[in-house]
Amino acid sequence: MTTVLEQAHSTLRRFGDEVKGYKVEILRGHIMMSPVRPVHNSTIRRVWNAFEEQVGVEWGFISDVGSEFTEADTELCPDLAILPKEEEVKNLSKYSPELFEVVVEVISPGSILRDYDVKAEFYANAGIPFYVILDPYEAQCTWLSTPEAGRYTDRGRCGYGGEVILATPVGDLRLDTSKLPTDPGS
């Protein structure tokens, strides 16, 4: 018997190269595509570089690698996730979301509701302790922590322009939001 996720993957294989330039995820069996702009990738690169300098060698990073929530016919691809280095070096095409200590998503046009609400619910249900949302269109950094019963109970937010200290399970991570790119049309 073919699962909904398998059917969605089959459909994506038929699209082939036509999905280049889009971030593709499967949400409750539906294929979701968001256009990726340079500001998106630049944000991920800068955050990865900043965090990588601050964490111990026991932590690894992955970007845009699948994470299945099979009970909900969903496969999300976090823009950036921090997980144990021993897992990252396995070089898998999919990782269990339970391995993630920190997840970072960068808002894209059309992904606002998914990133702030839908993904927050999935990540909280998976027990991911810390979730960061960066919005280059509104120049906002939001962080969610303490997952309970499918939601995060603690939340913080700041505008881009200074340093924020994120108290994550991998240590306090400093992020200079003044160095994050913003969309020039915003």
**One pLDDT digit (tens) per residue for the chain, 186 residues:** 456 555 554 544 555 555 566 666 677 676 766 667 789 899 999 999 999 999 999 999 999 998 988 777 778 999 999 999 999 999 999 999 999 999 999 998 878 888 899 999 999 999 999 999 999 999 999 999 999 998 999 999 999 999 999 999 999 999 999 999 999 886
User: What pLDDT score was predicted for residue 1?
Assistant: 41
125-143 per-position pLDDT tens digit:
999 999 999 999 999 999 9
What are the Cα distances from residue 50, in Å, to 3, 43, 77?
39, 11, 21
User: What pLDDT score was predicted for residue 19?
Assistant: 55
Whole-model pTM: value is 0.87
User: What pLDDT score was predicted for residue 12?
Assistant: 46
Domains in the chain (CATH in brackets) are 36-65+77-179 (3.90.1570.10)
CB–CB of 129/152 below 8 Å? no
Task: Choose among 87, 76, 45, 79: nearest CA to 63.
Answer: 79
Q: What are 36's two structure tokens? A: 């990726």
DSSP string, 47-113: HHHHHHTTS-TTEEEE-S-BEEEGGGTEEE--SEEEEEHHHHTT--SB--GGG-SEEEEE--TT-HH
**Which strand ranges, in their side-by-side order, compose the sheet holding 151-159?**
59-62, 80-84, 102-106, 130-135, 140-148, 151-159
SS3 for 138?
coil
